[in-house]
């Protein structure tokens, strides 16, 4: 659109940005520069990804909260660093409440209980009579 001679106002309206942004982009392109970020621009990271990996390799049972406290950063900052390093928080892994073995054991016990209740004498499950 810039090369086609469209006005800055029309481009800004179509792209939904300010005319100043269109003007800056147009100026950069005319000067032969790219729209990429310059190296070193932006806020530097508080944590190095390799340091985070090494910390958890040295102590795999450490919690994210404890490592964050040791490094003087928040838990959410440490969580982002762990995620960026390719790790996952064990707290966030979805686990079933019962394992398959526990589920089978409960089912067997429940079936035994139901069978014993079905074949129990009639008065065995009756509530005790009050003696008044």
Average pLDDT over residues 15-37: 88
d(CA 39, CA 128): 83
Residue at 57 is within a domain: yes
Residue count of the chain, please give it.
132
Contact 47, 81 (CB under 8 A): yes
* Count of domains forming the chain: 2
Q: Is 11 contained in some domain? A: yes
- Residue 119 maps to a domain: no
Q: What is the mean pLDDT of residues 19-40?
A: 87
| pLDDT given at position 110 | 95
- Return d(Cα 6, Cα 128) in angstroms, integer: 93
Q: What is the mean pLDDT of residues 10-28?
A: 89
Can you give the residue range of the structural domain that contains 6?
1-36
Distance (Å, whole) CA 85 – CA 50: 7
- In tens, the pLDDT along 98-124 reads 889 999 999 999 999 999 888 877 666
26 and 55 fall within a common domain: no
**Has residue 1 got a pLDDT over 80?**
no
pLDDT value for 89:
73
């Amino acid at each position: 659109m810039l090369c086609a001679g469209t006005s800055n106002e029309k481009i800004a309206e179509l792209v939904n940005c300010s005319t100043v942004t269109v003007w800056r982009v147009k100026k950069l392109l005319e000067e032969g520069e790219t729209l990429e970020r310059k190296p070193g621009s932006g806020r530097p990271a508080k944590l190095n990804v390799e340091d985070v990996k090494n910390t958890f390799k040295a102590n795999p049972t450490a919690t994210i909260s404890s490592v964050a406290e040791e490094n003087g950063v928040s838990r959410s900052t440490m969580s982002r660093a762990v995620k960026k390093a390719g790790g996952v928080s064990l707290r966030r892994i979805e686990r079933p409440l019962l394992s398959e073995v526990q589920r089978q054991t409960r089912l067997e016990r429940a079936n035994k209980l139901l069978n014993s209740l079905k074949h129990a004498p009639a008065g065995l499950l009756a509530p005790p009579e009050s003696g008044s």
